[in-house]
Chains A and B, each alone.
Chain A
């Protein structure tokens, strides 16, 4: 089999990126729109008139749909990966989208999106497929192997769900790499570093802290800790809640009933948050449906006071990680900051205090773009796995499992078999026997976590050992081997030692899809992927062109069209004629260029339409269009990246 490139993917809560090694340097691969970041937003286009399956769009175009058709858009799906029904129900209070009506307890939750339903791994698969296509477009060859990053504190189910998503997207996931470890790799690549470093990673939805020892090209993780539900989203939610409450109290308008309006206020909140990283003060200025204006000044000091409790939640994990590594702050040589939220000055202040940095004349490392550093590190790891480059051949990552693995013993107590922070792969062998004469099955409950009672830990799976030869109670001796692989995922094998028979294991994962389910969810386009790559690229480009054409047709009816200058309108006309011509031909590059020209010619129009949509949403005009079914309380994590709002 021809072995193509291995790419590195950062599948983020807010944004996703794909990167590769260009010679000795990792670089991010831009999308067609020239942007390095692909927003992790997936939207369903309107149902075609012929009743065929609607097209799924990903990224910036999907984000635009958020204000117009919020019921057909999903974002921040990473927060739902590998989670059970109860947890998702709780989480969804903060999102504008809903669970499908018929989801049963014990099955992987499905999200209702327009007239279709999707599991969280399927949504992630669409994001991954977009990244895969961006890379294929860039290389002009198929891309089938990838390294994908996950938060270090992700548990087994969350990791498995991420791997499943890769498979659905037609990617062989060669390795899951922990995000902070990837960042360390990106930083350590060009310098022959020795010493102890801490990676503080506060992203859109997750927080990780990892402590690593670097020596002779070996990156050995000593300890890791974190919170998979802590990030910039929480700060946005806080600002949003305050704004909505104040609008309600001062102007008598409750915007919570209007999803589009809430999204617009959220955009203003994110905007304010970002400005406050550079300026001493930011303003909210929003026109309300009744014509009033909500105007509010937020000084940085007030903002810092507001977010202090959120930031303080990162202290405990940092201290625990240092304790687990058996070190004090003075022993940490360098601190690396990762994730967009580390741009906030108060976060940097906290990091400085936690690790006694300025007291020792040190500064945290921020020279690599915190939004890109994880993807860059993933590209380095991809190259290590491909084993094709000289400058990575001496590098090796030794990562750890973030949570202890245990089995439920008598009385519901957890017997710990692999402690947290064990270098992976790691294994443990346990012996089991029967309690009743002639018993042929033994059930084992595996959990992950640090608490003493199984009920307080996270249930990972129930294993049913079958086919034990009937014997007197206590006589069979079943050896079960638990192995956490290099991706941090558990594998189990068992053997009855007296008969030497390989015991059959039936695994019931507490959370997650079965192999057959994953198989059935593989995105259709993959079926043809290897068959005729060039033809597929052409078809995809034509579809893209078609989609843009129909959008521009609709845009001509929009009030924003009249706001363009006659020259700007002529440019759109010309771009459209050109696109129609190259679409009829079979020159892929010409067609792509046509799409790009069209994209540029309509950029102004798209911005005007976006502005209009925001204003209308605030006024509540698009609510009928949004439908009645979205009157949930809305304090969702944001899907908007800073790039959009200049």
Chain B
């Protein structure tokens, strides 16, 4: 289970026995590698959970930590240090992979704060009418009809330029909506980062809804792309 380390518990370094902050991956006193902490992905980079991130700085820190933690640096070390290097580097890489991507970062932070986020790959979302955003209900209904037609036409080996054009238009429209969602998400990031507990809770709710909508639109666009390309 993920947890936010608010107040780090001091533990002793295995090598020099000096107490240090649990979230650190090296002993600040003797620089020796430490077993992976129970910290979250933000704490790996010495950050508090936040959504507006300086990506250049993140990359720089990723490289700096990689140099110190990577298993290549421990090829001839003792068994324990080897294992910790492997686990720490996996944690570092998982953290960097998640935080550098704006959507993954948002989902991760929300999950960290107890939000339920839908599954990326659940196809049934699209089939379930109750999951369709209300403002898109009509368009999605039309689109699904057209997709069925297109698939049937493709199966028969027929060409339908009008249908093709209409689907391409729909795709462009949904892609435009996706961009709008991303803009709205970014607006919520700042609210969350700057806000107090109340503002955060509100932003959190907004973002969960936006992510749902985003996932839905993404699946639609993918469906259209697949059908057009098949």
Contact = CB atoms under 8 A, between A and B. Distances in A.
Interface residues of B, number: 19
Given A218-B63, A396-B66, A415-B121, A175 B72 contact: yes
Contact of B71 (A427, A428, A485): A485
A425 B71 contact: yes
A397 interface: yes
Contacts of B66: 218, 396, 398
Interface string A393-428: 010111000000000000001111000001111111
A215 B63 contact: yes
B26 interface: no
A210 to B, nearest CB: 17
Interface of A is mostly: strand
Contacts of A423: 93, 96-97
Contacts of B71: 425, 485-486
A396 B72 contact: yes
Interface string B66-106: 11001111011000000000110111011011000000000
A43 to B, nearest CB: 35
Most buried by B among A216, A423, A452: A423
Nearest to A491: B86
Interface in A184-234: 215-216, 218, 220
B93 A425 contact: yes
A216 B86 contact: no
A387 B76 contact: yes
- Most chain A CB within 10 A, of B63, B66, B93, is at B93
Given A215-B63, A413-B121, A426 B72 contact: no
B93 A422 contact: yes
A381 B70 CA distance: 13
Nearest to B73: A387
A174 interface: yes
Given A396-B66, A416-B121, A385 B94 contact: no
Interface residues of A, number: 32
Given A3-B76, A384-B72, A386-B76, A396 B67 contact: yes
Main DSSP-derived SS at the B contact region: helix
B86 A485 contact: yes
Contacts of B70: 396, 398, 486
A442 interface: no
Contact of A424 (B63, B76, B91, B93): B93
Contacts of B94: 426-428
Interface in B201-218: none
Nearest to A431: B1
A483 interface: yes
Contacts of B87: 427, 483
A445 to B, nearest CB: 16
Contacts of B91: 427
Nearest to B119: A415
Contact of B72 (A215, A385, A416): A385
Contacts of A416: 121
Given A425-B86, A425-B89, A427-B90, A385 B97 contact: no
A381 B63 CA distance: 18
Nearest to A147: B75
B51 to A, nearest CB: 21
Contacts of B75: 174-175, 385-387
A425 B66 CA distance: 11
Interface in B46-73: 63, 66-67, 70-73
A56 B63 CA distance: 47
Contacts of A427: 87, 90-91, 94
Contact of A426 (B73, B90, B121): B90
Interface of A: 3, 174-175, 215-216, 218, 220, 381, 384-387, 394, 396-398, 413-416, 422-428, 452, 483-486
18 contacts: A3-B76, A175-B75, A215-B63, A381-B72, A385-B72, A394-B67, A396-B66, A396-B67, A396-B70, A396-B72, A398-B66, A413-B121, A414-B121, A416-B121, A425-B86, A425-B93, A426-B90, A427-B94
Given A175-B72, A398-B66, 20 more contacts: A174-B75, A216-B63, A218-B67, A385-B76, A387-B76, A396-B70, A396-B72, A398-B70, A413-B121, A422-B93, A425-B86, A425-B93, A426-B93, A426-B97, A427-B91, A483-B87, A485-B71, A485-B86, A486-B71, A486-B89
